[in-house]
Structures are given as structure tokens and as C-alpha cells.
């Protein structure tokens, strides 16, 4: 069994109104040191497979095909054995 942890983030050039709202909320809670907040997704996928190299290709394809929007998002992932 393998587990992939995928982080999907908005590209730097894309505006993030949700992140801005969270930043303002943190400021109003007196966290004055906050400069920027960006919101993204964290997806955990468990695979019934033992082949890490094959799993890397598979997860990469899932990210491009379904999990992320490559026009506005970047993704990165790491795979570990369970």
C-alpha cells in the first residue's frame, strides 16, 4: 500500500480572494506579522500498489486530469509506503 500526499496551490499570478479574507481575519485577531495567506488543497490518495515509480506516474496523471486545474494551479506530491 502506498500513500500520496498532494498539495495543490494557486499559481503565484492568480488572485486569491479566500486567502485575502483569511489574512484579514488573522489581522483582526491581532496576528500583525502576517504578510500573505494563500489557500490551496491537500489531497491524500491511498493506492493498492507497491511500485513507487508507477505510482508517481499515476498520481501525476491524476493531478493533470482531475485533481488540479493546470491553467491556474500548481501541484506537488510525495509518495511513501505504508
- Give the residues lining the site for a second copy (CB under 8 A): 1, 5, 7-9, 19, 22, 25-26, 29, 31, 33-49, 55, 58, 61-62, 65-67
Q: Do 76 and 60 touch, CB atoms closer than 8 A?
A: no
What Å distances lie between residue 70 and 22, 34, 44, 65, CA to CA? Answer: 24, 28, 19, 9
Distance CA 38, CA 8 (A): 11
* Nearer to a second copy (CB atom), residue 1 or residue 15: 1
Taking the complex as a whole, the smallest distance from the CB of residue 71 to a second copy amounts, in Å, to 19
* Nearer to a second copy (CB atom), residue 42 or residue 80: 42
Amino acid at each position: 500500500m502506498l500513500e500520496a500526499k498532494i498539495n495543490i496551490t494557486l499559481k503565484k499570478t492568480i488572485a486569491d480572494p479566500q486567502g485575502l479574507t483569511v489574512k484579514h481575519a488573522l489581522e483582526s485577531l491581532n496576528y500583525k506579522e502576517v504578510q500573505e495567506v494563500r489557500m490551496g488543497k491537500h489531497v491524500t490518495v491511498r493506492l493498492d500498489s507497491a511500485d513507487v515509480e508507477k505510482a508517481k506516474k499515476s498520481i501525476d496523471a491524476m493531478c493533470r486530469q482531475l485533481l488540479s486545474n493546470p491553467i491556474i494551479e500548481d501541484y506537488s506530491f510525495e509518495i511513501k509506503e505504508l
